[in-house]
Amino acid sequence: METLYNVLIDPFVQMYGMPDFFLQVLWEGLVSGVLYALIALGFVLIFKSSRIFNFAQGIMVVFAALSLVGLHTFLVPFVGNEFVAAAIAMPLTLGIMYALAMSVERVVLRPLVGQPDIILFMATIGITMFLIGFGEFVFGGENKVMITEALGIPTGAIEFEPFGGFLLLEEKDVFAVVMAIVLVISLLVFLNKSAMGRAIRALGDDHTAALSVGISLSTIWVLVWFIAGVIALATGVVWGARAGVSFALEVIAYKALPVLMLGGLESVSGAIIGGIAIGLLEKVFEIYWGQPLFGGNTETWFAFIFALIVLLFRPQGLFGEKIIERV
Amino acid sequence: MTVMDPTLEEVKKRAEEREVLLDLENVSLSFGGVKAITNISFNIKKGEIRAIIGPNGAGKTSMLNVINGFYQPQEGVITFNGEKRRSMKPHLAVSQGIARTFQNVALFKGMSTLDNIMAGRATRMKQNLFWQMLYWGPAQREEIEHRKKVEEIIDFLEIQHIRRTPVGTLPYGLQKRVELARALAMEPELLLLDEPMAGMNLEEKEDMSRFILDVNDQLGTTIALIEHDMGVVMDLSDRVVVLDYGRKIADGVPEEVQSNPEVIDAYLGVSH
Amino acid sequence: MFYRTSGQFKTTYESDQALFPIKQDMVLLVVILAAMYVIFPMFASEFTYKALLVPVLIYSLASLGLNILTGYAGQLSLGTAGFMGVGAYACYKITTIFPEMNIIVALFLSGFFSAAVGVAFGLPSLRIKGFYLAIATLASQFFLVWLFEKWAWLYNYNASGAIEVRTMDIFGLVVTGPNASPMVQYYFVLGIVSVVTFAMINLTRGRYGRTWKAVRDMDIAAELVGINLMRAKLSAFAVSSYIVGIAGALMVFFWKGAAEPNLFDIPMSFQIVFIAIIGGLGSVMGNFLGAILIVALPVVLNLLPEMLGLSIGSATMEHVNVMVVGSLIIMFLIVEPHGLARFWALIREKLIIWPFPH
């Protein structure tokens, strides 16, 4: 009886009893969710345009952040100014992400065109390992601090007093959310309005048809991987500001996977809504169920189990259409 | 086959005399709002070759899918061998005695011809995991007993030379033949053939027609056949049912159907 | 020349379906077994046992288990290490609760626990396919590792949170714990791996193998030739997780001697996936080739700078290692996506028809 109460009633009593704390929890969940959504978006873009399930997306986040911090540390003694160094490191990192996109296309994707999905998937795990080894080899394996201030990201906090309580929003989190929104909107505009964006969507709809009307596969792939790289860099900066920069960050990369299960591998809106939903739910579950009942740290698996259960009832995901099988 | 072509009356009479194997009564199937099959009734009699024809999208393949349980119709009754049902689990079709081939070859590409045909006997093999792991005693005996059956079919369809070849590497015509072999390995009472000659050249078509007649004749298997080549349909089949837009528009012996004006409008007149 | 098959005629289906229809294969196998059972132990040092021979065998076994599921039944799994953990913890609990039980019995019993957990996490495969399923298997990975950490009963409420293997013997011969001789452990592992491999070769060439491969190649067609998809998939999950569980138990009991939950975390899952892929999906022998490459290569790489007289920090070497393995995987996928097993098959084919090119 008491267990039932603890599982079914008590958490809601807590939520109602301390609404300001509940809001705080929701906010934290929202911020993580936005970042999950961003990583998932990178996955979706690459999957849509090339049918490649890019496992390396999460590692690209770490790699981008690591490159930025590493370059900055390297540059500061030369230019003598934190901000100037950041201003130089940023475009250089973008350059690295472009070089990465190019080499991935040249070295990995091009020779593997036409291979079964699982082989390409494995190749991206190979890329993941290479990036981990390479990143640590060049920049060292120790934990680093994101150059938040040098990049001009605000670090203060905003306080509210809802319901006579107390709510604290860190400015860098607010920055993260705003940046994510800007990024997503510009991405949507790019996909829907520009010629390149149309080409990417065409590839997503019908590969062969798109090729036959003269869309260049390699150009698109480099472009898409570069966009994924830019998204990775943005995610890396804001996540790094929250949690430091090291390959331990790769756990957030795994979080994007249940988002994809939930939202579908090809749905942009699915990635966004799924990401936010998972961010919110796992936080709420951890605080109100995980910590009091299961000894905490449920965030490692909650998203996966949740997505799994949803998929059992809706195999097509939240946003997919019902699949009719044909023979 | 007699030397003299039988008259229309004789053909009809022969069809009448046969016992009904499969009977479909007012079957309807839809996906969401789209109607694939509307209120169709017809039967298949023991030992006959029954052709199902109609223009593309007429619902022929859906019809076969309903018969072997892959699709579940919303309305209607299906009676097979005296047993009534509306739907069933697709993997149970085989144990009931219904086997089929597919419009787009649906072989197990990574396996050899032999393994593909052996897979057709999966439901008949019973030895448990333990004996299988030893591959000895009952498991080995069972394997060999089924191998013998499979070799008979291989001989029957003249595909001895490709026994060990992975089917993915075979030319299309042979793949179709392996698929027929796999279906025969299930020793079906009713064999459903979905466009067995699509994409074949004349010679391959003649071979396949001969095999179909042989199966029907020597093994006594009842055959339901979807085919677009009217020459083949008229030559092979005992009776023909014509579908259009998911409705039945004609049913009868080939000569009758051929002269049915609605059929000519819907199908023959348009595509030939 | 050595692989000429002319003159070897088959007159019965028994001999045609024998394990090695070609005589030379048999000879090759005997040579390999002789090397494993007689020659290696004559020269191996403790380091060779602990760093090369035993790990290669255990990883081969785990990869064989994964290969049943992914290579034969076509269900991609990224959660192998979690099931290894279940095997290891089950064996640990069984030997604590029944201290008198023979370790071999405990080992084979613990496989049933991982098989049961495998079937439970395999249930979604009836509804979910492809990449979605691959992600779903990660659910088991993360959940199980979390469970190993939080469920104190599993590690007997140790303060360290780790499981430690006590000394156990079979008829007086010490086989586990710090006092066991590496050679004895090697023979033990080798014996079990041989038995399981033999069983799996048989299983995969018979009805189960065909059923699984049919599901892998085209599940809809498989269903329509009368294969019960549910039974086929779940049996693959069960057999696969059983083997993987035994591999996990072997790893802790006969190699590492102790384990923390994070041993069974995602990097090991990936390592095993790599072994299976590089070795060749849908092949039994490939697992051994893959394991030799993936397990032995880092060991050799680590020795390399020393041999060349260079001094490189072990941390740096570690990073280079990861990098090299990553590149190797990509390279192998490009050169031969079907793995080392296919490589060998091609060579064998060439040898059989030698000196003719076709």
Contact yes or no for B107 and C217 at CB 8 A? yes
| Subunit partners of chain B (3 or more CB pairs within 8 A) | A, C
The C-alpha of A295 sits at a distance from chain C's nearest C-alpha, in angstroms, of 7
Which tokens in the block code for residue B143? 């394997």
C11 located within any domain: no
Torsion of CA B64, B68, B71, B74, to 10 degrees: 90
| pLDDT score of C358 | 66
Contact yes or no for A327 and B65 at CB 8 A? yes
Q: Does A323 touch chain B (CB under 8 A)?
A: no
CA atoms within 13 A of residue B193's CA, in its CB half-sphere:
32
Q: Which amino acid is at A90?
A: M
The C-alpha of C354 sits at a distance from chain B's nearest C-alpha, in angstroms, of 20
On chain C, the residues whose CB falls within 8 A of the CB of B108 are: 213-214, 216-218, 221-222
The residue among C239 and B10 whose pLDDT is bigger is C239
Q: Are C62 and C269 in contact (CB under 8 A)?
A: no
| pLDDT score of B214 | 92
Which of B107, B115, B122 faces C226 most closely, judged by CB atoms?
B122
On chain B, the residues whose CB falls within 8 A of the CB of C19 are: 135
Contact yes or no for C226 and B95 at CB 8 A? yes
Supply the range of the domain harboring residue C116: 18-353
End-to-end CA distance of chain B: 28
Give 10-residue mean pLDDT values along chain A (327 residues): 79 79 86 88 84 85 89 85 85 93 90 83 89 86 77 78 76 85 88 84 76 79 90 87 75 81 82 89 87 80 87 75 64
C156 located within any domain: yes
Interface of C with B (CB under 8 A): 13-14, 17, 19, 199-200, 202-203, 205-208, 210-211, 213-214, 216-218, 220-229, 235, 239, 282
CA dist., res. C264 & res. C87, Å (int): 11
Count of domains in chain C? Answer: 1
| pLDDT score of B2 | 46
Contact yes or no for A126 and C329 at CB 8 A? yes
Average pLDDT over chain B reads 86
Contacts of A129 (CB under 8 A, 6+ apart): C270, C322, C323, C325, C326, C329
The residue among B8 and A46 whose pLDDT is bigger is A46
Q: Which residues of chain C have pLDDT under 70?
A: 1-2, 357-358
On chain C, the residues whose CB falls within 8 A of the CB of B111 are: 210, 213-214, 217
* Lowest-confidence region among A308-322, B32-46, B93-107: A308-322
User: β-strands B239-244, B247-252: how paired?
Assistant: antiparallel
CA dist., res. A185 & res. A200, Å (int): 17
Q: Does B248 touch chain C (CB under 8 A)?
A: no
The C-alpha of A196 sits at a distance from chain C's nearest C-alpha, in angstroms, of 27
| pLDDT score of A255 | 81
3-state secondary structure of A282: helix
Kindly report, residue by residue over C115-163, the tens digit of the pLDDT.
999 999 998 888 888 888 888 888 899 999 999 998 988 888 888 888 8
CA dist., res. C328 & res. C298, Å (int): 12
Which of A122, A132, A298 faces C277 most closely, judged by CB atoms?
A122
CATH number for the domain including C143? Answer: 1.10.3470
Give the ipTM of the model, two decimals please. Answer: 0.85
pLDDT at B210 over 90: yes
Mutate to test the interface with B, among C67, C207, C223 (most CBs of B within 10 A): C207
Q: Which of residues 307-326 of C touch A (CB under 8 A)?
A: 315-316, 319-326
Contact yes or no for C203 and B139 at CB 8 A? no
| pLDDT score of A327 | 62
* Lowest-confidence region among A279-293, B8-22, B159-173: B8-22
CATH (residue range B1-97+188-272): 3.40.50.300
The residue among A173 and B167 whose pLDDT is bigger is B167
Which of C136, C281, C325 faces A308 most closely, judged by CB atoms?
C136
Mutate to test the interface with C, among B111, B163, B193 (most CBs of C within 10 A): B111
CA dist., res. C225 & res. B94, Å (int): 6
Where are the domains positioned within chain B? 1-97+188-272, 105-187
Where are the domains positioned within chain A? 40-313
On chain C, the residues whose CB falls within 8 A of the CB of B123 are: 225-227
The C-alpha of C264 sits at a distance from chain A's nearest C-alpha, in angstroms, of 14
C322 located within any domain: yes
Contact yes or no for C333 and A257 at CB 8 A? no
| pLDDT score of C289 | 92
Contacts of C289 (CB under 8 A, 6+ apart): C278, C279, C280, C339, C340, C341, C344
| pLDDT score of B271 | 47
